[in-house]
Amino acid sequence: MSVVIYHNPRCSKSRATLALLRERGVEPEIIEYLKTPPSESELDRILIMLDKEPEDLMRKSEADFKAHIRGKSLSRAQAIALMVNYPIVIERPIVINGAHAAIGRPPENVLQII
């Protein structure tokens, strides 16, 4: 099974999670999600794997969240579409291993799916 990390190289938690995976002998496929955001269907699948709603995966301190999302009553599909359009609001890093996903906050969270 291949492991995928939705990664932001500027994020210390994302870098630490990637390093932890590599220390465990896992060389994941790295997707820099700010350059290549997940599709709406992929993000929906990730949310299902995480057992989370879109709001649970949003970084509410980001300027794009405040400008485009905060205070709006959104359907699941609308929230996912906005997350794809403004990927900086997606919590990171997200690691996927088969049908399992985990958020690397703290980085050790991903060990449960490896």
- Residue 97 Cα distances to 36, 66, 78, 108, angstroms: 19, 32, 27, 15
As a whole number, mean pLDDT of residues 4-27 equals 97
107: preceding bond cis by omega (within 30 degrees): no
Catalytic residue among 3, 5, 10, 11: 11
The answer to whether residue 26 scores a pLDDT higher than 90 is: yes
Residue spans per domain, the chain: 3-113
Spatial separation of the C-alpha atoms in residues 79 and 106, rounded to whole Å: 25
6 is catalytic: no
Greatest Cα pair distance in the chain: 43
Average pLDDT (85-111) is: 97
On average, the pLDDT of the chain sits at 97
The residues, any chain, with a CB within 8 Å of residue 86's CB and separated by 6 or more, are 62, 64, 65, 68, 69
Average pLDDT, integer, range 5-16: 97
Mean pLDDT of 82-107: 97
How do residues 34-72 score in pLDDT, each as one tens digit? 999 999 999 999 999 999 999 999 999 999 999 999 999
Tell me phi and psi for residue 108, to 5 degrees.
Answer: -65, -20
Question: Domain 3-113 belongs to what topology?
Answer: Glutaredoxin (3.40.30)
